Amino acid sequence: MCRNGWRLWTVVLLLRSAVGAAKLAVLKVQQPSDLSQFVGVFGAFGGGAPEGELDIAVPPEEDSVGCSSYQLPSSTRKVISLVQRGNCTFVDKALNAQEAGAAGILVAFDTDQVAEMGGSNSSSEDQKVRVFAVAIGKSMGAKISEHLRSFPPDPVVVSVTAYEPSVMNLSEFILILIATGLVAAGTVFSTADMRQTGFGSAIAPQAEEVQEVDTVMAGSFCIVGSAMLVFLFFFMKYMIYVIMFSFCVGGALCLAQFIAMSLHHYVPRLKHRLFDLPQMGPVTEAECIAAVPAVALAMCWFILRNTEYGWPFQDIIGAGFLCWMQRTLRLPNLKTATVLLTAMFFFDIYWVFISVHQFKQSVMVSVATGAGTGESVPMLIRIPQFGDPLGGDRMLGFGDIALPGLLVSYLRRHDLTSHRTFWEGYFAPSLLGYFCGLCVTIVALSIMKMGQPALLYLVPGTLGTTVMLSLCRGELQLLWDGLPARGSRRLEEGGGNTDVL
Q: Per the domain annotation, does 3 fall within a domain?
A: no
Confidence of residue 22 (pLDDT cuts 50, 70, 90): low
* Amino acid in the structure at residue 244: M
Structural domain count, the chain: 2
137 within 8 A of 111, measured Cβ to Cβ: yes
Beta bridge partners of 380: 397
Same-domain pairing of 139 and 200: no
Which of 23-27, 433-437, 491-495 bottoms out in mean pLDDT, i.e. has the lowest?
491-495
Do strands 156-162 and 24-31 pair parallel, antiparallel, or not at all (unpaired)?
antiparallel
Out of 112, 134, 162, pick the residue that ends a domain: 162
Q: Is the pLDDT of residue 279 over 50?
A: yes
Out of 107, 134, 162, pick the residue that ends a domain: 162
Q: Per the domain annotation, does 126 fall within a domain?
A: yes
10 within 8 A of 112, measured Cβ to Cβ: no
Same-domain pairing of 125 and 176: no
Tens-place pLDDT, residues 94-120 = 999 999 899 999 999 988 878 888 877
Q: What is the rounded average pLDDT of the residues 379-405?
A: 85
Q: Per the domain annotation, does 475 fall within a domain?
A: yes
Q: Per the domain annotation, does 17 fall within a domain?
A: no
Same-domain pairing of 405 and 271: yes
Tens-place pLDDT, residues 41-90 = 888 888 888 888 888 988 888 788 889 888 888 888 899 999 998 888 89
Q: Which secondary-structure segment (H or E) carries 25?
A: strand 24-31
318 within 8 A of 380, measured Cβ to Cβ: yes
Beta bridge partners of 134: 42, 106
pTM: 0.77
Same-domain pairing of 201 and 297: yes
Same-domain pairing of 285 and 301: yes
Q: Per the domain annotation, does 122 fall within a domain?
A: yes
Tens-place pLDDT, residues 142-191 = 888 888 888 877 888 888 888 876 656 788 899 999 999 999 999 988 88
Contacts of 74 (CB under 8 A, 6+ apart): none
384 within 8 A of 170, measured Cβ to Cβ: no
The C-alpha atoms of residue 432 and residue 428 are separated, in whole angstroms, by 6
Task: Work out the angle at residue 61's Cα, subtended by the Cα atoms of residues 60 and 62, and round it to the nearest 5 degrees.
Answer: 95
Same-domain pairing of 224 and 301: yes
- Count other Cβ atoms within 10 Å, centred on residue 174: 14
Q: Per the domain annotation, does 11 fall within a domain?
A: no
Burial of 225 (0-12, 13-18, 19+ CB in 10 A): middle
Same-domain pairing of 134 and 190: no
Q: Which domain holds residue 437?
A: 170-494
Q: How far is CA 15 from CA 191, 244, 374, 449, 477, in A?
A: 44, 27, 18, 10, 49
Here the CATH number for the domain that contains residue 91 is: 3.50.30.30
Same-domain pairing of 332 and 370: yes
The C-alpha atoms of residue 410 and residue 191 are separated, in whole angstroms, by 9
Q: Per the domain annotation, does 131 fall within a domain?
A: yes
Same-domain pairing of 403 and 454: yes
Q: Tell me: cis bond preceding 7? Omega within 30 of 0 counts.
A: yes
pLDDT at 429: 96
Out of 162, 187, 204, pick the residue that ends a domain: 162
Q: Per the domain annotation, does 7 fall within a domain?
A: no
Q: What is the rounded average pLDDT of the residues 469-478?
A: 93
More confident residue, 103 or 373: 103
117 within 8 A of 90, measured Cβ to Cβ: yes
Same-domain pairing of 234 and 124: no
Confidence of residue 197 (pLDDT cuts 50, 70, 90): low
Q: Torsion angle, CA of 168/174/179/182, rounded to 10 degrees?
A: 160
Same-domain pairing of 263 and 139: no
Same-domain pairing of 365 and 348: yes
